[in-house]
């Protein structure tokens, strides 16, 4: 058995269950459980613990409830022993300790994201710069200035030079030789897309070219281009082209694979926008799969877009996907249990408690404040006066007795609506917290800052007042 000794701090309601879970875990460390004189564990704070915990009982580590707020570093210094937050749900303790040895570094990635501003000819330079800062904030490495066939672009050079002055890495994206040449002379770092017939532009500018086949789908026509660029000792990237579903998608995947087998060291690009934009399905899963392909084939550049309304988080999702895939590859592991960012619609463990376990918790409640939890069977609302289950929140309203309490009714309505959505989709519901939509939501609170305090939810206020 390990020499580690862990002291678990908890509240009165969770103490029994915590002891049962630890006993069932049969951990390889010594442990003790200490109830801190508070009914609800979520109401504990680091300051409260600092006042009440007089003896850490020779623990080498102290684990406090996951929702306990305050500065754990300051508490660690005060107690003279490392303090850490456990999982938010006590039922997640086995998984928590199983994952504890695997802290993945998501600061690293291999694949660069080219984010295309597809309508650049139709917007001002200031709007282009504004869009560039947005894409950069979402994770883009290169701002791609898209030209439109048959559309005048008099401010093309101004766009590129202004972006360069702002410190951006820039690419010019066109099939017109004149646009590519102008973009290169304006200082673009990359130009796409060149073919054998437009390769002469490489001799006019220092811009790195992205090459596509002269004849769509014909990889053999790239051989001469690659040999020429290698002889010139020029950096370049090859895009064998990713086609939309039902218009050559599977064949194009095979084509990218074949190119990589033929040229193991040549830099490649994958135009993921042809899938995320042209498929009406959630883009988070598509980005996970496409970046997984990039990881396997060592494709270090993707071209991404956010044109269609359903693809409004595509670049942010691609950023998270590339980091997850890189971490998985570095650890020679499956891309599972690394980060939840791409689990936007479902959770891998949506219902931590069965109905009978929730009923056992409810049996210990001695106050009138309502708690809400979900199981695979539906929504459960309970207090000291009763336990109610339904799959439709409207079925619960007549049983809650809040007809004359507008504030409480509003609060319960919001929480039950969240619970119903979570139950329907298979997501984790935690009372008084927003649902976690991963990287799919804009401005959502996906992870609480537990170093600071925010106003307690209505239920917690009622617990505290009583």
Pairing between strand 371-375 and 378-383? antiparallel
CA distances from 300 to 258, 266, 295 (A): 16, 10, 8
CA distance 361 to 18: 12
Residue 338 in domain: no
Strands of 130-270 (E only): list them.
142-146, 170-173, 190-194, 208-211, 237-238, 269-270
Per-residue pLDDT tens listing for the chain (466 residues) = 678 999 999 998 889 889 988 998 888 899 999 999 988 887 789 999 999 999 999 999 999 998 898 999 999 999 999 999 998 888 888 888 875 545 688 999 999 999 999 999 999 999 999 999 999 999 999 999 999 998 999 999 999 999 999 999 999 999 999 999 999 999 999 999 999 999 999 999 999 999 999 999 999 999 999 999 999 999 999 999 999 999 999 999 999 999 999 999 999 999 999 999 999 999 999 999 999 999 999 999 999 999 999 999 999 999 999 999 999 999 888 998 888 899 999 998 899 888 998 998 888 888 899 999 999 999 999 999 999 999 999 999 999 999 999 999 999 999 999 999 999 999 999 999 999 999 998 765 444 555 554 444 444 454 444 4
What CATH number has the domain bearing residue 9? 3.40.50.11600
Whether 384 and 294 share a structural domain: no
Residue 159 in domain: yes
Whether 228 and 318 share a structural domain: yes
Whether 244 and 317 share a structural domain: yes
Whether 136 and 174 share a structural domain: yes
Quick one: angle between helices 156-165 and 177-185, nearest 10?
Answer: 30
pLDDT at 103: 67
The number of distinct structural domains making up the chain is 3
Residue 133 in domain: yes
Residue 102 in domain: no
Whether 166 and 258 share a structural domain: yes
For the four alpha carbons of 355, 357, 360 and 362, in that order, the dihedral sign comes to: negative
Residues counted in the chain: 466
pLDDT at 465: 44
Last residue of a domain, one of 97, 125, 160: 97
Whether 45 and 187 share a structural domain: no
DSSP-derived 3-state class of residue 371:
strand
Whether 90 and 116 share a structural domain: no
Residue 441 in domain: no
Residue 117 has which token pair? 């501003």
Residue pair 41/17 in contact (Cβ under 8 Å)? The answer is no
For residue 313, give its domain range. Answer: 112-331
CA distance 74 to 83: 9
DSSP-derived 3-state class of residue 48:
helix
Question: Does the reported pTM lie above 0.85?
Answer: no
What CATH number has the domain bearing residue 161? 3.20.20.20
The H-or-E segment that residue 205 falls in is none
pLDDT at 460: 45
Residue 36 in domain: yes
Whether 402 and 276 share a structural domain: no
Residue pair 405/380 in contact (Cβ under 8 Å)? The answer is no
């Amino acid at each position: 058995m390990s020499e580690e000794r862990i002291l678990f701090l908890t509240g009165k309601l969770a103490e029994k269950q915590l002891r049962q879970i630890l006993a069932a875990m049969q951990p390889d460390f010594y442990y003790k459980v200490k109830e801190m004189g508070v009914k609800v564990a979520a109401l504990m704070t680091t300051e409260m613990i600092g006042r009440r915990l007089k003896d850490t009982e020779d623990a080498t580590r102290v684990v406090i409830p996951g929702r306990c707020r305050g500065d754990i570093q300051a508490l660690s210094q005060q107690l003279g022993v490392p303090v850490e937050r456990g999982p938010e749900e006590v039922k997640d303790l086995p998984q928590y300790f199983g994952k504890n040895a695997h802290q993945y570094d998501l600061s690293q990635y291999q694949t660069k994201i080219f984010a295309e501003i597809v309508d650049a000819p139709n917007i001002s330079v200031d709007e282009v710069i504004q869009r560039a800062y947005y894409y950069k904030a979402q994770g883009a490495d290169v701002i791609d200035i898209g030209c439109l066939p048959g559309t005048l672009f008099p401010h093309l050079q101004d766009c590129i030079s202004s972006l360069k002055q702002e410190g951006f890495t820039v690419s010019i994206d066109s099939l017109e030789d004149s646009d590519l040449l102008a973009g290169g002379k304006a200082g673009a770092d990359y130009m796409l897309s060149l073919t054998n017939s437009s390769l002469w532009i490489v001799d006019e500018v220092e811009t790195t070219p992205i090459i596509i086949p002269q004849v769509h789908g014909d990889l053999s026509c790239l051989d001469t281009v690659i040999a020429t660029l290698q002889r010139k000792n020029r950096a370049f990237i090859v895009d064998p082209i990713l086609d939309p579903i039902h218009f050559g998608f599977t064949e194009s995947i095979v084509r990218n694979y074949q190119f990589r087998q033929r040229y193991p060291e040549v830099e490649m690009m994958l135009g993921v926008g042809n899938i995320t934009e042209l498929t009406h399905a959630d883009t988070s899963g598509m980005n996970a799969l496409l970046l997984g392909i990039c990881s396997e084939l060592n494709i270090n550049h993707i071209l991404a877009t956010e044109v269609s309304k359903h693809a409004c988080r595509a670049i942010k999702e691609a950023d998270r996907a590339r980091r997850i895939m890189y971490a998985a590859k570095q650890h020679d592991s499956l891309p599972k249990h690394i980060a939840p960012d791409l689990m936007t619609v479902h959770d891998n463990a949506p219902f931590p408690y069965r109905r009978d376990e929730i009923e056992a918790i409810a049996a210990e409640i001695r106050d009138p404040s309502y708690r809400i939890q979900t199981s695979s069977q539906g929504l459960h609302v309970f207090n000291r006066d009763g336990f109610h289950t339904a799959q439709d929140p409207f079925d619960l309203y007549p049983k809650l007795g809040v007809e004359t309490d507008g504030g409480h009714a509003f609060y319960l309505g919001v929480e039950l609506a969240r619970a119903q959505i979570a139950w329907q989709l298979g997501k984790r519901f935690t009372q008084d917290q927003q649902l976690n939509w991963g990287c799919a939501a804009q401005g959502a609170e996906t992870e609480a800052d537990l170093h600071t305090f925010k106003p307690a939810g209505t239920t917690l206020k009622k617990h505290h007042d009583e």
